Amino acid sequence: MEKGTEKAWDVLKDLTDPELPFLTLDDLGVIREIKRNDKNHVVTIAPTYIGCPAISVIEEKIASELKKIGISPIIEKSFSPPWSSDWISENGRKKMEEFGISPPHPRIAETIGDPLLKDVKCPQCTSYRTEKVSEFGSTACKSLYRCLDCKEPFDHFKCV
Protein backbone atom coordinates (compact mmCIF):
# COMPACT_ATOMS: atom_id res chain seq x y z
CA MET A 1 0.00 0.00 0.00
CA GLU A 2 1.20 3.50 -0.81
CA LYS A 3 2.56 5.22 2.32
CA GLY A 4 0.08 8.13 2.48
CA THR A 5 -2.80 5.73 1.97
CA GLU A 6 -1.56 3.57 4.80
CA LYS A 7 -1.31 6.60 7.10
CA ALA A 8 -4.81 7.65 6.08
CA TRP A 9 -6.21 4.23 7.04
CA ASP A 10 -4.43 4.47 10.39
CA VAL A 11 -6.07 7.81 11.13
CA LEU A 12 -9.53 6.89 9.85
CA LYS A 13 -9.91 3.47 11.41
CA ASP A 14 -10.61 4.95 14.85
CA LEU A 15 -13.15 7.56 13.68
CA THR A 16 -16.53 7.00 15.32
CA ASP A 17 -20.02 7.26 13.88
CA PRO A 18 -21.83 10.47 14.95
CA GLU A 19 -25.10 8.66 15.72
CA LEU A 20 -23.58 5.48 17.17
CA PRO A 21 -20.55 6.92 18.95
CA PHE A 22 -19.52 3.56 20.46
CA LEU A 23 -18.93 2.18 16.94
CA THR A 24 -16.15 3.13 14.57
CA LEU A 25 -16.81 3.73 10.88
CA ASP A 26 -14.60 0.71 10.36
CA ASP A 27 -16.87 -1.44 12.59
CA LEU A 28 -19.80 -0.35 10.43
CA GLY A 29 -18.01 -0.99 7.15
CA VAL A 30 -18.74 2.54 5.94
CA ILE A 31 -15.23 3.33 4.67
CA ARG A 32 -14.82 1.20 1.57
CA GLU A 33 -11.61 2.33 -0.03
CA ILE A 34 -8.78 4.81 0.16
CA LYS A 35 -6.68 5.22 -2.93
CA ARG A 36 -4.39 7.70 -4.51
CA ASN A 37 -4.93 9.08 -7.99
CA ASP A 38 -2.62 11.55 -9.76
CA LYS A 39 -3.07 14.38 -7.32
CA ASN A 40 -5.32 13.42 -4.43
CA HIS A 41 -6.37 10.76 -2.02
CA VAL A 42 -9.87 9.51 -2.76
CA VAL A 43 -11.85 8.12 0.17
CA THR A 44 -14.90 6.11 -0.85
CA ILE A 45 -17.68 5.77 1.70
CA ALA A 46 -20.89 3.74 1.52
CA PRO A 47 -23.76 5.55 3.27
CA THR A 48 -25.89 3.25 5.44
CA TYR A 49 -28.95 5.16 4.16
CA ILE A 50 -29.13 7.59 1.25
CA GLY A 51 -30.70 10.31 3.39
CA CYS A 52 -28.68 9.57 6.52
CA PRO A 53 -28.04 12.99 8.11
CA ALA A 54 -24.82 11.68 9.67
CA ILE A 55 -23.18 11.43 6.25
CA SER A 56 -22.25 15.10 5.97
CA VAL A 57 -20.81 14.99 9.50
CA ILE A 58 -18.83 11.87 8.59
CA GLU A 59 -17.46 13.61 5.48
CA GLU A 60 -16.38 16.61 7.54
CA LYS A 61 -14.75 14.38 10.16
CA ILE A 62 -12.81 12.43 7.53
CA ALA A 63 -11.64 15.63 5.86
CA SER A 64 -10.55 17.30 9.10
CA GLU A 65 -8.72 14.22 10.43
CA LEU A 66 -6.84 13.74 7.18
CA LYS A 67 -5.98 17.42 7.02
CA LYS A 68 -4.07 16.99 10.28
CA ILE A 69 -1.66 14.65 8.50
CA GLY A 70 -1.43 16.87 5.45
CA ILE A 71 -3.89 15.11 3.19
CA SER A 72 -6.80 16.96 1.61
CA PRO A 73 -8.99 14.14 0.35
CA ILE A 74 -11.74 13.86 -2.21
CA ILE A 75 -14.64 12.01 -0.62
CA GLU A 76 -16.89 9.98 -2.86
CA LYS A 77 -20.14 8.27 -1.97
CA SER A 78 -20.73 4.82 -3.38
CA PHE A 79 -24.12 3.11 -3.67
CA SER A 80 -23.00 0.06 -5.60
CA PRO A 81 -22.83 -2.44 -4.08
CA PRO A 82 -25.24 -0.88 -1.57
CA TRP A 83 -24.08 -0.80 2.05
CA SER A 84 -25.19 -3.93 3.84
CA SER A 85 -25.62 -4.65 7.54
CA ASP A 86 -23.61 -7.82 6.82
CA TRP A 87 -20.56 -5.53 6.62
CA ILE A 88 -20.74 -4.73 10.33
CA SER A 89 -17.79 -6.47 12.02
CA GLU A 90 -18.13 -9.13 14.76
CA ASN A 91 -16.64 -6.65 17.16
CA GLY A 92 -19.15 -4.03 16.05
CA ARG A 93 -22.05 -6.40 16.70
CA LYS A 94 -20.72 -7.16 20.17
CA LYS A 95 -20.40 -3.46 21.04
CA MET A 96 -23.89 -2.81 19.69
CA GLU A 97 -25.40 -5.42 21.97
CA GLU A 98 -23.51 -4.08 24.98
CA PHE A 99 -24.94 -0.66 24.21
CA GLY A 100 -28.50 -2.02 24.23
CA ILE A 101 -29.09 -2.26 20.48
CA SER A 102 -29.94 -5.64 19.04
CA PRO A 103 -27.60 -6.29 16.09
CA PRO A 104 -29.01 -7.11 12.62
CA HIS A 105 -29.52 -10.71 11.60
CA PRO A 106 -27.56 -11.95 8.58
CA ARG A 107 -29.11 -11.05 5.21
CA ILE A 108 -29.18 -14.68 4.20
CA ALA A 109 -31.98 -15.17 6.76
CA GLU A 110 -34.21 -13.09 4.45
CA THR A 111 -33.77 -15.50 1.55
CA ILE A 112 -33.54 -18.94 3.11
CA GLY A 113 -36.50 -18.20 5.34
CA ASP A 114 -35.20 -19.94 8.48
CA PRO A 115 -37.34 -18.27 11.14
CA LEU A 116 -34.79 -19.03 13.88
CA LEU A 117 -32.22 -16.85 12.15
CA LYS A 118 -34.65 -13.93 12.13
CA ASP A 119 -35.46 -14.06 15.85
CA VAL A 120 -34.59 -10.84 17.59
CA LYS A 121 -32.91 -11.14 20.97
CA CYS A 122 -33.62 -8.63 23.73
CA PRO A 123 -30.29 -6.91 24.49
CA GLN A 124 -31.30 -6.38 28.14
CA CYS A 125 -32.46 -9.84 29.29
CA THR A 126 -31.46 -12.01 26.29
CA SER A 127 -35.02 -13.32 25.85
CA TYR A 128 -36.10 -14.18 22.30
CA ARG A 129 -39.73 -13.40 23.14
CA THR A 130 -39.78 -10.01 21.47
CA GLU A 131 -42.08 -8.16 19.08
CA LYS A 132 -41.74 -5.42 16.52
CA VAL A 133 -43.43 -2.17 17.53
CA SER A 134 -42.51 -0.11 14.49
CA GLU A 135 -40.56 -0.51 11.25
CA PHE A 136 -38.80 2.75 12.12
CA GLY A 137 -36.82 3.70 15.22
CA SER A 138 -34.77 6.61 16.52
CA THR A 139 -32.56 6.73 13.41
CA ALA A 140 -32.96 5.59 9.79
CA CYS A 141 -30.95 2.42 10.42
CA LYS A 142 -33.01 1.05 13.32
CA SER A 143 -36.48 -0.32 13.99
CA LEU A 144 -38.30 -0.37 17.32
CA TYR A 145 -38.93 -3.56 19.33
CA ARG A 146 -40.18 -4.53 22.76
CA CYS A 147 -39.33 -7.48 24.95
CA LEU A 148 -42.33 -9.53 26.11
CA ASP A 149 -40.41 -10.84 29.14
CA CYS A 150 -38.63 -7.86 30.68
CA LYS A 151 -41.08 -5.42 28.96
CA GLU A 152 -38.27 -3.07 27.95
CA PRO A 153 -38.37 -1.33 24.57
CA PHE A 154 -35.20 -1.49 22.46
CA ASP A 155 -33.77 -0.65 19.05
CA HIS A 156 -33.00 -3.35 16.50
CA PHE A 157 -30.50 -2.53 13.79
CA LYS A 158 -32.27 -3.13 10.45
CA CYS A 159 -31.09 -5.96 8.27
CA VAL A 160 -30.33 -4.44 4.85
Partner 1 sequence: MKSNTADMVFEGLLRIADDNLILGHRTSEWCGHAPTLEEDLALPNIALDLIGHAQTLYCLACEINSRYKNEDQLAFLRLEHEYKNLLLVEQENGDFGNTVLRLFYFSTFMKYFWERVKINCCFKKLKEFSEKAFLETSYHSRYASQWVVTLGDGTDESNLKMSNAISNLEPFLGELFNNDDFTEMCSQNDFLPEPTSIFESWKNEVEAILQKGNLNFPDIILKKRGGRKGEHSEAFGYLLSDLQYMQRAYPNSSW
With CB under 8 A as the contact rule, which of the stretches 12-20, 31-39, 51-59, 98-106 interacts with partner 1?
51-59
Q: Which is nearer to partner 1, 71 or 120 (CB)?
A: 120
- Number of residues in contact with partner 1 under rule CB under 8 A: 23
Of the candidate spans 5-13, 25-33, 35-43, 137-145, the one that interacts with partner 1 by CB under 8 A turns out to be 137-145
Contact between 100 and partner 1 by CB under 8 A: the answer reads no
Q: What own/partner pairs with CB < 8 Å and gap ≥ 24 does 92-100 have?
A: 92/23, 92/24, 92/27, 92/28, 95/22, 95/23, 95/27, 96/20, 96/22, 96/23, 96/157, 97/123, 98/22, 99/20, 99/22, 99/123, 100/124, 100/154, 100/155
Nearest approach, Cβ of residue 53 and partner 1 (Å): 7
Instruction: Give the amino acid at 151.
Output: K
Rounded CA Rg of the chain: 18
Out of 25, 52, 120, 122, the only residue in the binding site for partner 1 (CB under 8 A) is 52
**Interface stretch with partner 1, choices 1-9, 35-43, 72-80, 119-127 (CB under 8 A):** 72-80
